Amino acid sequence: MLDKKKYLKILSHKPDIFAAFPAEVLDEQTAGQLREIPRLAVAEITGPADIHALRELLAHYKPDGLLPTFSYTGTEYGDWLRLEHVAAKLKITLEKDLNIYVAEPVVLGAPELWKELHTVHERQLGQRFGFTSACLGCRLYSFILRAPLCKKVGARFFIPSLHGLLQRGCPSHTTPIERKYFTFLMSGYGIDVWHHAQQYENKNENTDDEQACLSCVLTAGPENSIAQDKLARYFESFALPTAGGILSHAVFGEPVDYALIIAERAELKKELIKIKPKFSSRDSK
């Protein structure tokens, strides 16, 4: 069971828990036990709707264990204790219905990383790519944040939250593009992404009980006319190279100069990579 006192202390201070994990968050004994689980998946949890979606998804993929994660940025607000209740219900549901072990949640975050990503998305990238979207920076942050954790506990699978892009204000037509590039990003570290079925992500009529537990102070939504070629250029010449630069240090537990890496990638003018991300049959649905 999650230690409520420890949990609330972390959330009140919001330290950098990303490249290295303090013992009160994830001690070596626990990490070692998690590494012994053959098919371990790490999941991003943001609200009650994740419980139902995860049950359906994991009935298909059938992992041996699940490590739920909560993350903070510094711009969210809401009932953090409600997330604790969601994790408890998720454990009961998956262990009873699917016989999947659910570990104690890990809380992580890197507010300085989020600050630098937010700043560059609101300024330089708007001029460079012709659109701005704090939500894209948030999703990039979410994937970057969990790669070192996956490597530490030997998890070969990552499951983004159901609330993902649509529920954070990103236009629906960008979802397939974001899926393929984020999948490509994580594959570079030996991590497969299990995406929720499209019908879940396109669902906008969630009840109050199913809404994400936290809200964001950045209420302004992005433009609804982000051209697909501009979005592809954003990922290929900024998002993926930035993630690679940060994770080249973070996955080894090394300190990361977020500002320097992000500033360097933001100023590059040429396309850095050309990729053809692969899809699984389920991802293309």
pLDDT in tens, 175-231: 888 899 999 999 999 999 999 876 555 554 444 455 667 777 775 555 556 888 999
- CATH number for the domain spanning 75: value is 3.40.50.620
Distance CA 206, CA 95 (A): 25
Contact 231, 177 (CB under 8 A): yes
For residue 18, is it within any domain? yes
pTM for the full predicted model: 0.88
For residue 279, is it within any domain? no
Residue 280's pLDDT is what?
A: 44
Q: Could you say which residues of the chain have pLDDT below 50?
A: 165-167, 204-208, 270-275, 277-285
Q: Domain tally for the chain?
A: 1
Contact 83, 229 (CB under 8 A): no
For residue 278, is it within any domain? no
Structure tokens at 210: 């199913």
For residue 219, is it within any domain? yes
Residue 166's pLDDT is what?
A: 42
Distance CA 91, CA 2 (A): 11
Under 8 Å CB-to-CB from 252, ≥6 apart: which residues?
A: 19
Buried b (16+ CB within 10 A) or exposed e, 122-138: eebbeebbebbbbbbbb
Residue range of the domain that includes 18 = 4-267
For residue 280, is it within any domain? no
For residue 283, is it within any domain? no
Residue 217's pLDDT is what?
A: 77
